[in-house]
Structure 1
């Protein structure tokens, strides 16, 4: 019996004409083994986590065989990469196995990332390496636990098969799930080819499966675009509030559902630097932390061009003009929550900006500062916070303003502390933690992957057994370099 016998697989992409995808033949890993399995996601899907290690499951999760009766598909898309339009990209190392429905009626598309060559691989090998697969597995689940929209990771399989990047490495396949992997570039490719009927078909598909309420709108395609604008604004606000840098915000890496998609040279900031560039391949700093909200808007402009056959230019420009306000409003909500502020005050944005300037001036650890801020007390010297600053007077000046601001709050201090601890994580996937897990895994020890996954699944809890994961990063962490091959 199949370990996934409780699941009924379909393939919604087959509702679209063949121009949207290509059929894929299996290119399995040799002698695959399970590196990690996500028990919590298994529970959501209604399958036992023990099933992932069974030979039949490994065959599916490593690309040796596909779902009986269903073709595996690689999707076509294009995109703007570092500001330059690339006419055809597509799933160069990913393929869709099909989709299933969980117990709550939510449909998940299953994708294998690193399962071999596709017609869109171009000069690539279609493989993923263990190093980058570990990073995506851990970060996608960490983001989910932080409440940030993201693709999910079900399992990771490995193999001794060699893969060549900057140096020889070993292969791995990530099984990742999402409601959809459709991207901005999925629309762009047909616009730039002049295939406007296909744009309409894709928009209808997205509305039917993901935004059915848009079908009832006076202008369904305009309503769809408005949803994408809103979700993108909210996603970018989440990233900025938690100190997350994506690294490669190309339009082919932007989800129409507002999910964090395609984890490559990402990074959670340690010391706060507004101009931080996490991707060492990004020499111009196009995707720096402080550029991410504006890049989100730039990418939406690219998508708007692809919607011109469906929506008037005037209507698209009006919706684009709402992005900044939507982003700012949502970001302010998130930042007020981080500061423990409930009562909305006119000077809150200035208070937040002053804090960020102070954090930037000293490259203060972003996560540690906000976690410790929950213990702020205007009647003490707040030593744990002051010690994060070289010039303590800079913190003292801001703290005086913060203390005055807290006097206008109606919530008791104890309740404020609990609320702040519930939104300011103690644990994030710092690059050095991922690097330690990678180095251990390359020696055949996967225990750190399991421990990190368990810890990061509860980022707001104290978890004394994982206290070491909440420490300030060691000095060598600054030397870690991640790039587009990460």
Structure 2
């Protein structure tokens, strides 16, 4: 059995980009879940991870040779207001590994204790947010959405104090990197051009090696985010807290705090308890993405040459390219949900269906999945209006195979996640493991998971989600 071999690149950057910090460790660590498929993808020894040395690493009790053990510095616009210093307040990156195919990944312990960026917090996580992020992120990976991943969930044996006393947990998060828009803002607001240049070179080498210069880096990041948000929209996913510190430069979904998936469809749907005015509602996500990218572009302008007017022009042009890129990605994703090639006519059908769904708050997932087997009609009260739409859609010749790949049968429904969390708080992890197994096969019809596809009963509805901090 072999320990991970670390190959750390971030710690080769200027030391003001991070703080050396050790995880606080766990009193009585117990393995809740170990993602062996992901371990294999990373080239990690599953037997070692499941053994005492692996448990010590995953719980923060002991780190193998070569571990970096740092908290990254970053800033961020939170609900539009700049916080010049945030940083990893409850996460410790223990190092980077290189997978067998040459891809590089960070290993980070979330809930590992205080860091210099904790800002009055305890740096801990209770069990609920760990299980929620584990389920959400692994579903997203199974659905083909770029995302951070969950390698392990560990019960720490310690209690965490929030509104009440709750069991503590640590999640091992895997990401192609943890650099965010807010990371660039941290140095941008300080006028630290040297750090911005080092960070930009690092990101180009790690994620965008085809970018010939800073302008091309910006263009490629804009394209990655446009495609990502279109995928979110096509799944009814609402990130919930799209602050600039929660937008990864890699184009991966990161930070699933108050994230949720819609049941009944309406474009204004939001869940986050702290999003009082719907800034991050489902329909607002592409607009917020543009806003965030504009903050990123502002950080890069000093690196775009001596002529700042031309630099501003190039940066503006790149950010203004988002709508067309997003619309093309959106068209492709939503037309596929109807089994149709992307076209203006197909978009018209999509919009007509969404309008019908919004009027009755018809279940987003059930309607699209039900187009394949004819059950979508059951989600509507005004079946006559749906029948008219369905006749026009069928005359367009939808392809069932395209639909089957675009429309999951199961999503991480809020009420199912909450049921799994409540059972786990009581010591029963069976609902969590069952839900995890089902969400790893979201497009596969399996009778034993049929109940997990159903929307919540009125008494089961979850209308608010929380950051967990």
Cα separation, partners in 2 of 1:476 and 1:60, compared to 1, 3 Å: same
Aligned position for 1:394: 385
**Equivalent position of 1:378 in the other structure:** none
In structure 1, what is the Cα distance between the partners aligned to 2:61 and 2:385? Answer: 59
Q: In 1, Cα distance between the equivalents of 2:178 and 2:80?
A: 21
Any conservation in 2 of the 1:67–1:98 contact (CA below 8 Å)?
A: no
- Give matches, 1:266-281, under 5 Å: 266-281=259-274
The equivalent of 2:358 in structure 1 is: 360
> Are residues 1:38 and 2:35 paired?
yes
The answer as to whether partners of 1:154 and 1:176 remain within 8 angstroms in 2 is yes
2: CA distance between counterparts of 1:232 and 1:53?
Answer: 35
Offset, 1:53:
3.0
Q: Give deviations 1:268-295, integer Å, cap 9, x for gaps.
A: 1011111001102211111011101100
Q: Deviations over 1:364-398 (max 9, x none)?
A: 011111111123xxxxxx5x222211111221232
- Counterpart in the other structure of 1:60: 57
The equivalent position to 2:214 in structure 1, one of 217, 221, 243, is 221
Q: Which moved more, 1:261-270 or 1:459-468?
A: 459-468
Secondary structure of 2:19's match? strand
State whether structure 2 residue 306 is matched by structure 1 residue 315: no
Contact 2:153-2:172 at 8 Å conserved across structures: yes
Offset of residue 433 of structure 1: 1.1
Listed as ranges, the gaps of 5+ residues in structure 1 are 376-381, 407-412
Q: How much is the aligned-residue C-alpha RMSD, in angstroms?
A: 1.4
Provide the residue aligned with 1:338 in structure 2.
Answer: 337
In structure 2, the partner of 1:99 is: 96
Runs of 5+ unmatched residues, structure 2? 305-310
Partner residue, 1:409: none
User: 1:130 maps to which residue?
Assistant: 127
1:151 aligns with 2:148: yes
Q: For 2:111, which of 110, 114, 124 is the aligned residue?
A: 114
5 Å-filtered alignment, 1:186-225, equals 186-214=183-211, 217=212, 220-225=213-218
What is residue 473 of structure 1 aligned with on the other side? 456
The 1:463–1:98 alpha-carbon spacing in structure 2 relative to 1, beyond 3 Å, is same
- Residue 110 of structure 1: how far off its partner (Å): 0.4
Moved over 4 A (4+): none
Q: Cα deviations across residues 346-374 of structure 1 (Å, max 9, x unaligned)?
A: 32222211111111111101111111112
Corresponding residue of 2:368: 370
Of 87, 92, 98 in structure 2, the residue corresponding to residue 90 of structure 1 is: 87
**Distance in 1 between residues matched to 2:327 and 2:429, nearest whole Å:** 41
Aligned-partner Cα distance in 1 for 2:46–2:382: 50
Do the aligned residues in 2 keep the contact of 1:36 with 1:449 (CA within 8 Å)?
no
1:259 matched residue in structure 2? 252
Aligned equivalent of 1:326: 325
Corresponding residue for 2:279?
Answer: 286
TM-score (norm 2): 0.96
Residue 48 of structure 1: how far off its partner (Å): 4.2
Aligned residues: 463
Matches within 5 A, 1:337-486: 337-342=336-341, 344-375=342-373, 382=374, 384-406=375-397, 416-485=399-468
Q: CA deviation at 1:405?
A: 2.6
Contact 2:5 2:66 in 1 (8 A): no
